[in-house]
């Protein structure tokens, strides 16, 4: 990698919410305040959606009517929401990060707007050009020095519906000829323009075949590791993230966790050990921004946070013990739209201090 680190970094994942959840009570209505709070909690960096598809097509229009992706969850807006001036907003947000000594990692969830603009990204060349224009905007604003890395597609290819197989309309796999071509060709193009940046495509699928993948063209691996990825926690609860109000079933989660705590912690261990082995085999360091307990949760009646904090502290401790991570997050919920988790400043400081005490991998 192109960065020099002296210790692992604590990184928070703020996805697309930083720009969408700006209404009163949304959590991000005051960027200065929440970034100050991020620093106060010991974080070094934040990962956000750069909305590169909207930056790229700003010559066509300036505002975008977004379609809710998970109305029952706290990611983004639960209702239709218009965002505008994306380039200017990105630069303002990153400028506030720079003023506070925070690094920024750029990613893309390719949020759907009512015109489905993302589907205009029809070749790896357009994909690379879209990111090049976005990075041009960042460089021209004098903010290149705070770029931690670029994740060209969050959880590739799950959030890239514009990438289809040449022989089927189904989503491609990472290992397929098409899946690899989009990664390899776009990275090669970007490196010609910005060779000093670190690039990846983050991972949350095809874990059972990771050992077969060629990661040689990535600078590091960004796997998302949850207890439930390596166990059946939500299955036992009967929870389905795509069903409205099914989150109510999560009220039974604290009891299920407490009853079988050692089993669930062993699931986290299994995931960390698996990814450690992949990292060693590929000779690539690790960064993880989504992690440890479960993917979806939110504040509400009987929705306790202590069990999630317990599982996440275990995950951070075990991940650091492998000495394969150069940056990692404390949980999936280290962001202000989860007030029950966010308000516990001492817990965040405990975990970020733990991260900073870790050892970097020897590569």
Compute the distance between CA of residue 105 and CA of residue 232 in angstroms, rounded to an integer: 31
Q: Residue 288: which domain range?
A: 9-356
Contact criterion met (CB below 8 Å) for 298 and 249: no
- E runs forming strands in 248-351: 286-288, 291-292, 325-328
| Burial profile 289-302: b = 16 or more Cβ within 10 angstroms, e = fewer | bbbbbbbbbbeeee
The answer to whether residue 243 sits within a structural domain is yes
Alpha-carbon radius of gyration of the chain:
19
Q: How many CB atoms lie within 10 A of CB 29?
A: 13
Which residue's structure tokens are 């930083």? 18
Compute the distance between CA of residue 362 and CA of residue 198 in angstroms, rounded to an integer: 18
Q: What is the pLDDT of residue 362?
A: 84
The answer to whether residue 363 sits within a structural domain is no
The answer to whether residue 1 sits within a structural domain is no
Contact criterion met (CB below 8 Å) for 95 and 141: yes
Residues 6+ apart with CB under 8 A from 211: 277, 278, 281
Could you read off the pLDDT of 2-34 as tens digits, one per residue?
667 789 999 999 999 999 999 999 999 999 999
The answer to whether residue 285 sits within a structural domain is yes
Q: What is the pLDDT of residue 15?
A: 97
Q: What is the pLDDT of residue 4?
A: 74
Q: What is the pLDDT of residue 69?
A: 86
- C-alpha closest to that of 182 among 204, 206, 159, 212: 159
The answer to whether residue 361 sits within a structural domain is no
Q: How many CB atoms lie within 10 A of CB 135?
A: 21
The answer to whether residue 2 sits within a structural domain is no
pTM > 0.85: yes or no: yes
Into how many domains does the chain fold?
A: 1
Element spanning 60, H or E:
none
The answer to whether residue 47 sits within a structural domain is yes
The answer to whether residue 4 sits within a structural domain is no
Residues 6+ apart with CB under 8 A from 264: 227, 231, 233, 257, 311
- E runs forming strands in the chain: 9-15, 45-49, 63-66, 81-84, 103-107, 147-151, 199-200, 225-226, 286-288, 291-292, 325-328
What are the structure tokens assigned to 64, written together? Answer: 């975008």
Q: Which regions of the chain are under pLDDT 50?
A: 166-169
Q: At what angle do helices 306-322 and 345-356 cross, to 10 degrees?
A: 10
Which residue's structure tokens are 């060693």? 280
In degrees and rounded to multiples of 5, residue 72 shows phi and psi of -85, -5
- Read off the CATH number of the domain in which 318 is found: 3.20.20.80
Q: How many residues does the chain have?
A: 363
Q: What is the pLDDT of residue 241?
A: 77
Which residue's structure tokens are 């492998």? 322
């Amino acid at each position: 990698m192109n960065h020099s680190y002296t210790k692992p970094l604590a990184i928070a994942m703020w996805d697309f919410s930083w720009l969408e959840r700006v209404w009163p009570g949304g959590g991000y209505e005051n960027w200065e305040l929440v970034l100050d709070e991020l620093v106060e909690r010991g974080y070094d960096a934040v990962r956000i959606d750069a909305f590169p598809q909207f930056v790229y097509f700003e010559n066509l229009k300036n505002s975008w009517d977004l379609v809710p992706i998970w109305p029952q969850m706290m990611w983004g807006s639960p209702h239709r929401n218009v965002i505008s001036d994306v380039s200017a907003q990105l630069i303002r947000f990153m400028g506030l990060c720079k003023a506070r000594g925070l690094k920024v990692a750029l990613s893309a969830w390719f949020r759907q707007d009512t015109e489905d603009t993302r589907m205009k990204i029809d070749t790896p060349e357009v994909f690379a050009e879209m990111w090049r224009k976005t990075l041009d905007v960042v460089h021209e604003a004098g903010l290149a020095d705070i770029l931690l890395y670029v994740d060209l597609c969050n959880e590739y290819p799950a959030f890239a519906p514009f990438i289809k197989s040449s022989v089927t309309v189904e989503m491609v796999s990472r290992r397929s000829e098409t899946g690899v071509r989009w990664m390899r060709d776009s990275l090669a193009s970007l490196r010609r323009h910005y060779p000093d940046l670190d690039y990846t495509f983050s991972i949350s699928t095809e874990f059972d075949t990771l050992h077969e993948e060629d990661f040689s063209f990535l600078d590091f691996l960004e796997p998302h590791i949850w207890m439930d990825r390596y166990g059946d926690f939500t299955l036992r609860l009967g929870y389905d993230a795509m069903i409205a109000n099914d989150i109510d079933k999560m009220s039974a989660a604290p009891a299920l966790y407490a009853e079988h705590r050692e089993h669930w912690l062993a699931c986290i261990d299994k995931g960390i050990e698996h990814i450690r082995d992949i990292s060693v085999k590929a000779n690539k360091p690790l960064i993880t921004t989504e992690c440890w307990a479960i993917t979806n949760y939110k504040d509400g009646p009987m929705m306790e946070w202590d069990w999630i904090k317990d599982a996440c502290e275990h995950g951070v401790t075990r991940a650091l013990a492998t000495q394969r991570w150069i940056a990692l997050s404390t949980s999936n919920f280290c962001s202000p739209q989860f007030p029950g988790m966010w308000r516990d400043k001492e817990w965040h400081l405990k975990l970020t201090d733990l991260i900073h005490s870790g050892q970097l991998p020897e590569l």
